[in-house]
Structure 1
Amino acid sequence: MVNFSPDKDIPDLSGKVILITGANVGLGRESLHQLAKHNPRTIYLAARSKAKADQTIKEINDTLPDTARSTIRFLECDLTSFDSIKKAAKTFTSESDRLDILMNNAGIMACPEGLTNEGYEVQFGTNHVGHSLLIKLLLPTLQKTAKDAPTGSVRIVNLSSAGEQLAPKPDGIKFDSLKTPNSGGLSTWTRYGQSKLANVLYARALAKRYPEIVSVSVHPGVVQTELTRGPLASYGSWLYYPTKIMAALFCKSVAQGALNQTWAAVAPVAKQEGGQGVKNGIFYHPVGVAGKDSGLAKDEHDVLSDKLWEWTEKELKGQEL
């Protein structure tokens, strides 16, 4: 496990541009706060609600020196809507000529059955498809940045989860039923696992195809965040408060939970096999621990990650700025 302290281990980020989805609450907000302390040129807070984002920006700015208070910008982005994602990407590329860190932090967990605007199962559509479109639209900017930046410094960080182990066996992803509300009868937790497995596999697929960009996935640990409200409520009123108390006792704090994704965004690249640092395509448990993937996530011959890449490319065909 890596010993990582944001205040001393995040390097100077002068000139760098960062985009974090879902950064108005929880792990994304904490990551934004820690990165904002280290002089980035701009951090884009991508979220659906301007009111919530503005409140977050105000609260974080109140903790920063005056010179750093103009670095955080709101970027409206609803990951359940291709139109919203394309509008966000168009706004970003009109304002910024570079992108050093794309942290795909937003997500939903164990929610009721539903579909995104384009008809994808809502957890898979939000956690994987929406982020994949955002990545696709921002890849030219990431590639352009990587040409002139230090080797390995341009990053894509996908927030996944150890919940990837809940993905349906033996397939991992039920491709034929991703456009149904329950993915062919899967439980809400299995659908969540399927989407989180996709986050791991897609980072690996990106690393394989775009080696100049370091693409990784991370598990934050078991953290008590806004994400747990829906699942807690699903237990019913008589179990809600006991479960909430247990979560408070045994879950990590948000500050602890954000360490892994913040480390993955800024740590040096591993210079040799087995060396400390970030390695392209790897799934990390906290903090910086590799090798805890499920068998499906390890995908040793890239069979599932290649299939996911091809499926995603087909689904996103024609979606351009």
Structure 2
Amino acid sequence: MKHSDFQFKDLPELTGKVILITGGTSGLGHLTAKILATKCSPAHIYISGRNTQKANLVIQDLQLLAPSVKVAFLHMDLADLDTIAIAADMFLAENKRLDILIANAGIMATGPGTSKNGFEIQFATNFLGHALLISKLLPILLSTSAEYGDARIVSVTSTGFHVAPKDQGIIFDDLTTTQNYGFGSNWTRYGQSKLALLVYTKTLAEKYLELTTVVVHPGVIATDLVGGLGWMDRMIVYATNIGKMVSEEEGVKNGIWAATVKREDVASGGFYEPVGEVGKHSRWSEDEGLAIRLWEWTEGVLKKHGY
């Protein structure tokens, strides 16, 4: 089957598998959980998010549609490292395997700000929070792969990484500031954060050959991320993507493909655009020096914060 012919009806059974999806209480995360629960029958799906009420509604929905699948919520704010560590520890206390981790949650082109831990807010949410979560869950992912033959990390990035700062890719010296450089800097901050997630996931593939780590772009979708933008930023998205925007159902296909396709049909460390098509890199997404610096910076920051 060509990847372009990908259909939900062709999804494999995921019997016995445990899945964790960040940002699973709304948008693409919610729909991803819904499709995996109803089409693949895994043993357990965990969704993370900040809103317990929204999570309870999602869980009720999924349990009605797929009563045989256990669904649970992990309270997690990706801009707050302590909540991530607590959620990861709760997951580890309850489980002996993790087959699929989908790093889906994110924010886009938000105004200037910093996280609870003092990092530029988009970088903290879209990248650093996921890096800590992955770090905490690496042992169970590795043991799952050793016992069952595969474990996957699917990172949801965006082709917006192409608008990361052109001269550096990531402005390391200013990551503990708001990086408020004026008009349009909300988009370069977004691109920087999505570039970091892509580069970090590629490095994971190089360091942990036992795992299947994949980076996906879902397409341009009119989700809450776009709807929550200011008027001018919404117009930028719509004007630059005329005829390219897709539905949420189309938007989740690439991530679900990466999470479920046969291991031999996906390249670990690969970047894919919808559906299963090798994506176009930028200068910085393939820069070895940037990859090394990002890995070392991340390790140092997490260690400094006690992780």
Normalising to structure 1: TM-score of the pair?
0.89
After TM superposition, the structure 1 = structure 2 runs for residues 152-301 of structure 1, keeping only pairs within 5 Å, are 153-182=150-179, 187-231=185-229, 233-235=230-232, 250-270=244-264, 277-299=265-287
Structure 2 partner of 1:91:
90
Contact 2:22 2:105 in 1 (8 A): yes
After TM superposition, the structure 1 = structure 2 runs for residues 115-130 of structure 1, keeping only pairs within 5 Å, are 115-130=114-129
For residues 304 and 161 of structure 2, the distance between their equivalents in structure 1, rounded to whole angstroms, comes to 29
Relative distance call for 1:292 and 1:29 in structure 2 (3 A) is same
Which of 283, 296, 301 aligns to 1:310? It is 296
For residues 197 and 68 of structure 2, the distance between their equivalents in structure 1, rounded to whole angstroms, comes to 36
Q: Once the 2 structures are TM-superposed, how far is the Cα of residue 259 of structure 1 from its aligned partner?
A: 0.3
For residues 158 and 25 of structure 1, the distance between their equivalents in structure 2, rounded to whole angstroms, comes to 17
For residues 318 and 93 of structure 1, the distance between their equivalents in structure 2, rounded to whole angstroms, comes to 23
Relative distance call for 1:58 and 1:245 in structure 2 (3 A) is farther
Contact 1:177 1:184 in 2 (8 A): no
Structure 1 partner of 2:25:
24
Contact 2:20 2:46 in 1 (8 A): yes
For residues 124 and 88 of structure 1, the distance between their equivalents in structure 2, rounded to whole angstroms, comes to 20
- Deviations 1:28-59 (CA, angstroms, capped at 9, x unpaired): 11111111121211100111111001111222
Aligned residues with identical type, % of pairs: 42
After TM superposition, the structure 1 = structure 2 runs for residues 60-75 of structure 1, keeping only pairs within 5 Å, are 60-64=62-66, 66-68=67-69, 71-75=70-74
For residues 21 and 43 of structure 1, the distance between their equivalents in structure 2, rounded to whole angstroms, comes to 11
Structure 2 partner of 1:273:
none
- Classify the secondary structure of the residue corresponding to 2:93: helix
1:7 partnered with 2:9 = yes
After TM superposition, the structure 1 = structure 2 runs for residues 134-153 of structure 1, keeping only pairs within 5 Å, are 134-150=133-149, 153=150
Contact 2:110 2:122 in 1 (8 A): yes
Q: Once the 2 structures are TM-superposed, how far is the Cα of residue 304 of structure 1 from its aligned partner?
A: 1.3
- Classify the secondary structure of the residue corresponding to 2:263: coil
For residues 48 and 37 of structure 2, the distance between their equivalents in structure 1, rounded to whole angstroms, comes to 15
Q: Once the 2 structures are TM-superposed, how far is the Cα of residue 120 of structure 1 from its aligned partner?
A: 0.4
For residues 59 and 98 of structure 2, the distance between their equivalents in structure 1, rounded to whole angstroms, comes to 20
1:50 partnered with 2:52 = yes
4+ runs deviating over 4 angstroms: 183-186, 242-250, 318-321
Relative distance call for 1:243 and 1:227 in structure 2 (3 A) is closer
Relative distance call for 1:243 and 1:144 in structure 2 (3 A) is closer
Q: Once the 2 structures are TM-superposed, how far is the Cα of residue 234 of structure 1 from its aligned partner?
A: 4.0
- Classify the secondary structure of the residue corresponding to 1:24: coil
- Classify the secondary structure of the residue corresponding to 1:235: helix
For residues 248 and 97 of structure 1, the distance between their equivalents in structure 2, rounded to whole angstroms, comes to 46
User: Is the deviation greater in 29-38 or in 251-260?
Assistant: 29-38
Q: Which amino acid aligns with 1:127?
A: N
For residues 35 and 67 of structure 1, the distance between their equivalents in structure 2, rounded to whole angstroms, comes to 12
Q: Once the 2 structures are TM-superposed, how far is the Cα of residue 12 of structure 1 from its aligned partner?
A: 1.1
Q: Once the 2 structures are TM-superposed, how far is the Cα of residue 318 of structure 1 from its aligned partner?
A: 5.4
Contact 2:118 2:176 in 1 (8 A): yes
Structure 2, unpaired ranges of 5+: none
- What is the aligned length? 303
- Deviations 1:187-215 (CA, angstroms, capped at 9, x unpaired): 00000000010111011110011110111
For residues 24 and 95 of structure 2, the distance between their equivalents in structure 1, rounded to whole angstroms, comes to 19
Contact 1:224 1:248 in 2 (8 A): no
Normalising to structure 2: TM-score of the pair?
0.92
